[in-house]
C-alpha cells in the first residue's frame, strides 16, 4: 500500500517514539520531526520522504550540524518498482558511512504500519574493503596497454585486458595462419593463449584439426575494428630481434 503524501508517515513514527518515552513535535526550525526523551536528555531529529532521494540525504547531512542523532524515514512498499527501492542494503551502508540513521515504514490495508530500523545513528559501516576485488581491479588496470574506452559510455563493447589478449591471439593466427596453441603462446607471450583459443569467448577462432586453430572472418573483422588497440604492441614485436 503506497502512501500519497509524505505527511502520512508522521503519525506512525510519532507513535513509535512516544511509546518509547519521547515527547514529539513537528516542524521545529524546518525539521520534519523532533523527539526529546526527558529522562535521558536525548534528542532525535527525523526527516521524512515518501522515497529515499538526494534531497532527503542532504537534509540529513544538514541536520547533523544541529544534532548527532538524525534519522531518515521513508516508506517501504514491497510492490513498488525502481532501482532505489530495491537497494536498501546500499542505502543503509551509505547512511552508516555518514552517521545517519535509516528507518522504513510499511503500510498495510488491514493492520497497523510496521516500522523497521535499517541502521541507527552512529552505527559503524559493516562492509569492509573487498581485497580480492581490489586486486582484480588493479590487475585489470595494469594489464591494459592503454585507455581505449570512453568513461560513462553505454552500449559499447569495452576493451578489457582479456579482449586485448584475444586480439593478440587473433593477430597471431592472421599473421602465421592456422597454428597450434604453443605457437600462439610463443608469438603473443601470453601463456594462456591455448585456453583462450579453446574457450573462444568472442567467436573469433575455429579448431580445424586436433591441436590447430584458425582465424574466422569475425576475428579478422575485429582486428580491423580494434586496430588502434594493437598498434603499439605490433610495433614492439616487429622491432624486437
Classified as helix, coil or strand, 19 is coil
Residue 228 lies in a domain: yes
**3 state SS for 132-195:** HHHHHHHHHHHHCCCCCCCCCCCCCCCCCHHHHHHHHHHHHHHHHCCECHHHHHHHHCCCCHHH
Enclosing domain of residue 113? 6-119
The beta strand positions in 15-54, using DSSP E, are 23-28, 31-37, 42-49
Verify that 108 and 178 share a domain, yes or no. no
CATH of the domain at 216: 1.10.10.10
Render each residue's pLDDT in the chain as its tens digit; 241 residues.
567 778 889 999 999 999 999 999 999 999 999 999 999 999 999 999 999 999 999 999 999 999 999 999 999 886 655 545 568 989 999 999 999 999 999 988 888 899 999 999 988 887 766 788 888 889 889 888 888 887 766 667 888 999 999 999 999 999 999 999 999 999 999 999 999 999 999 999 999 999 999 999 999 999 999 999 998 888 877 755 4
| Residue matched to cell numbers 579478422 | 220
- The answer to the question of residue 51 being in a domain is yes
Amino acid at each position: 500500500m503506497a502512501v500519497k503524501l509524505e505527511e502520512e508517515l508522521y503519525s506512525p513514527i510519532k507513535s513509535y517514539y512516544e511509546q518509547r518515552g519521547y515527547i514529539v513535535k513537528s516542524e521545529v526550525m524546518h525539521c520534519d520531526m523532533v523527539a526529546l526523551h526527558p529522562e535521558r536528555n536525548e534528542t532525535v531529529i527525523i526527516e521524512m520522504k515518501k522515497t529515499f532521494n538526494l534531497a532527503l540525504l542532504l537534509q540529513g547531512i544538514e541536520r547533523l550540524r544541529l544534532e548527532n542523532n538524525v534519522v531518515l524515514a521513508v516508506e517501504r512498499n514491497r510492490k513498488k518498482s525502481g532501482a532505489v527501492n530495491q537497494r536498501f542494503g546500499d542505502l543503509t551502508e551509505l547512511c552508516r558511512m555518514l552517521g545517519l540513521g535509516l528507518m522504513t515504514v510499511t503500510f498495510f490495508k488491514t493492520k497497523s504500519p510496521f516500522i523497521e530500523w535499517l541502521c541507527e545513528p552512529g552505527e559503524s559501516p559493516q562492509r569492509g574493503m573487498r581485497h580480492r576485488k581490489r586486486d582484480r581491479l588493479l590487475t585489470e588496470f595494469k594489464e591494459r596497454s592503454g585507455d581505449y574506452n570512453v568513461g560513462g559510455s553505454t552500449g559499447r563493447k569495452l576493451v578489457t585486458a582479456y579482449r586485448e589478449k584475444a586480439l593478440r591471439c587473433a593477430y597471431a593466427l592472421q599473421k602465421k595462419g592456422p597454428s597450434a596453441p604453443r605457437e600462439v603462446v610463443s608469438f603473443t607471450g601470453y601463456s594462456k593463449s591455448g585456453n583462450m583459443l579453446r574457450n573462444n569467448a568472442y567467436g573469433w577462432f575455429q579448431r580445424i584439426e586436433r591441436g590447430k586453430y584458425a582465424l574466422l572472418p569475425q576475428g579478422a573483422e575485429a582486428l580491423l575494428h580494434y586496430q588502434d588497440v594493437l598498434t603499439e604492441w605490433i610495433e614492439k614485436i616487429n622491432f624486437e630481434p
